[in-house]
Chains A and B, each alone.
Chain A
Amino acid sequence: MKIKGRAIFEGKAEGTALVSSSPMSFYGGVNPETGEVTERGNELLGQSVKGKVLVFPNGKGSTVGSYVLYRMAKNGVAPCAIINAKCETIVAVGAIISEIPCVDNVDISKIVSGDRVRVDGATVKF
C-alpha cells in the first residue's frame, strides 16, 4: 500500500513499524539513553523505538520533548522515521533538529506494528 502524506522533514528511511494508537510524549515518556518507552498507560510501554518507523497520532506534553528526540538521535536510539496523523510543534521541531524523516496527514490506522515501512519524502509505502 502507498499513502501520500505531507513531509514535515524530508528524507528516506526504511524499517519495521511500531504503532501507538495514543499520543506520545518524549519528555518523561521515552528514555533518551535506551529509546525505551517509559510512559505508563502507553501500549508501547517497555518497547524500544530504536531504528523503528514510529507511528502515532500526534505528540503531547512538554516542549522539552523536542530536545529529547535530539538526544536520542545523538545516542543512536532514535526512530529511523516518524509518521503522524497530525504532527504538532514538539515532534516537528524534534524531527527537524534531529534530522529524522517525518511525514504527517497519514491514516495511521492502516499501519500495524511489524509492517515493513518505507518513507520517501511525503510518501509512505508498506
Chain B
Amino acid sequence: MLLTREEEGMLAGREGRATQKAMQILVALGKIYDAKRLVRVSSVQVSGVSYKNLGDAGLEFLDDLAEDGRARVKTTLNPAGMSLTDWEAQGIDKRFAEKQLSVIDAYRRLGVEISCTCTPYLAGNEPRFGEHVAWGESSAVAYANSVIGARTNREGGPSALAASLTGRTPLYGLHLTENRAPTLAVDVDALLASPEDFSAMGYFAGKLVKDGIPIFRGVRRANLEELKTLSAALASSGGVAMFHIEGLTPEYDLGGRTAEAVTFAQNDLEETNASLNDEGTPDFVAVGCPHCSLAEVAELAGLLDGRKVRGEFWICCSREVKRQSDEAGYSQVIVGSGAKFATDTCMVVAPVEELGFKVVATNSAKACHYLRNAGLRVRFMPLQECVAEATRSP
C-alpha cells in the first residue's frame, strides 16, 4: 500500500504510540483488503462502548490508547450500557456503572464526543453526499451509505478508533463506486403503512441478501423514521452495509444489472411479523432502536398525554434529542405518564437480561433479534401498540 510521508511517520511512531498502533491497524486492513492507499475521513462513529460487550479487556485497551492518542476528526460515540446520569434509577449495578463510566472517561480523554447514540446523523454528525467516513454501528453505517450517500465500510470498534486517531481509513470496499451497486432486487408487493412494516421488510430482506446490497423496487415514499428502522433491521438479520430504494435513495441508478430478484409480498410481511412474536405477556416495553427521532418522541408524548404507564417503559434516545424534547415540552408529558427516558443507552446494549425482565415488547425487529440472542422473549408491535401495552390496566 502506498503511504504518504506523513502516514509513514505515523507508522514509524513519530506521532506517538497510539497513533502508531492505529496506523498499524489501518495498514494491516489495507493489506488484507487490497487497498492501494488510505483516504482521509471527515468523521468517525465509534462502536464498542457498552461495558457489557467491552469487558475489562476493552477498557484496558482504551485506557492504554488514551495515554497519548487523540481524535483528529469529528468523532461521535455509540450508546453505552446505561444512562450516564440516571443509571441508578435504571436499576444498574454499581460495579457495572463504575466500569462503564471509566470507559466513557477513556473516550473523553481520546477527544471523542460523548454523544452516546446509534443515530449520530440526528445528533450533529452529518456527513454530506460522497464524503468518506469511518463508522461503526451497523444501522448507522447502512443509513450513512444508503440514505446520505456518504461512504463507509462496516467498522469494528478498534478500526473506527484507528481512523479517528489518524484521520484516515484504507480505501477499499464501499469507499469505491464500483462496489456500491445493488446485488439483489427486492420487488415490494406489500402495503408499507408504518415504520414497523419497513422494519419487518428489512428483517426479511437482510436474511436473503446476507452481506450484499439490496435494491427495493416499488416503494413510493419513505420518511426518516422508516429509513432508520429499515437500515437497522437489514444490518441485524444480515450483514447489510448499504441498500438502495429505486427512485428514492441518492445512488439507486448506479448501473449494473441485478441478476436475481425476490418478492416481498403481503404474506411475507405477515409471516415476518409472526416470526418476531414469542409467547408471553410483556413485562418490559422499550422503543427507540435505533434511537428515537424528535418526531417519534413527539408522537409518544401525544399518545401518552393523560395516560398512566404501568410497569417499565423505556424511550431510548440520544441526549441531543432528549434536550430538544425538553425544550419542546414533550419530556414533561412523557415523564408525567410514568414512562422513562433511557438516554445514552438502549434495550440492546444495557444489561436488561440482568434486570429481571423476561418478555420485551418493542417496535424494532433489530431489538427483537438481539434480545432473543440474550435469552429474552420478544413481542414485535407498532409504536401505538407499545404504548397501549405499557398503559394497559392489569
Contacts and interface: CB of A to CB of B under 8 A. Distances in A.
Interface of A: 6, 8-9, 32, 62-64, 66-68, 70-72, 74, 87-90, 92-93, 96-97, 104
B134 to A, nearest CB: 13
A92 B28 contact: yes
B60 A74 contact: yes
A92 B55 CA distance: 20
Given A92-B29, A92-B32, A97 B156 contact: no
Chain A contact residues: helix, strand, loop or mixed: helix
B21 interface: yes
Contacts of B158: 63, 66-67, 93, 97
Interface in B21-74: 21, 24-25, 28-29, 31-32, 47-48, 53-58, 60-61
Contacts, number: 71
B57 A32 contact: yes
Contacts of A92: 25, 28-29, 32
Contacts of A97: 21, 25, 61, 158
B166 interface: no
Nearest to B61: A70
A67 B25 contact: no
A93 to B, nearest CB: 5
Contacts of A89: 29, 32, 156, 159
Contacts of B56: 71
Nearest to A65: B156
A68 B57 contact: yes
Contacts of A6: 31
Contacts of A87: 32
Given A93-B159, A96-B21, A97-B21, A67 B32 contact: no
**Which of A72, A87, A92 has the largest count of B CB atoms less than 10 A from its CB?**
A92
Given A96-B25, A97-B25, A67 B159 contact: no
Contacts of A63: 47-48, 156-158
Given A9-B24, A93-B158, A97-B158, A67 B61 contact: yes
B159 to A, nearest CB: 6
Contacts of B53: 62, 64
B31 A8 contact: yes
Contacts of A62: 53
B30 to A, nearest CB: 10
Contacts of B57: 32, 67-68, 70-72, 74
B58 A67 contact: yes
Contacts of B32: 8, 87-89, 92, 104
Nearest to A75: B57
A69 to B, nearest CB: 8
A5 B277 CA distance: 49
Nearest to A62: B53
B55 A67 contact: yes
Interface string B80-105: 00000000000000000000000000
Contacts of A32: 55, 57
Contacts of B28: 8-9, 92-93, 96
11 contacts: A63-B156, A64-B54, A67-B157, A70-B61, A71-B56, A71-B57, A93-B29, A96-B21, A97-B21, A97-B25, A104-B32
B304 to A, nearest CB: 36
Nearest to A90: B156
B380 to A, nearest CB: 24
Interface string B122-163: 000000000000000000000000000000000011110000
A13 B58 CA distance: 25
B288 to A, nearest CB: 23
A17 B156 CA distance: 29
Contacts of B156: 63, 66, 89-90, 93
A92 B26 CA distance: 10
A107 to B, nearest CB: 18
A74 B156 CA distance: 21
Most chain A beta-carbon neighbours within 10 Å: one of B29, B54, B156 = B156
Contacts of B21: 96-97
Given A93-B156, A96-B21, A97-B61, A67 B54 contact: yes
Contacts of B58: 64, 67, 70-71
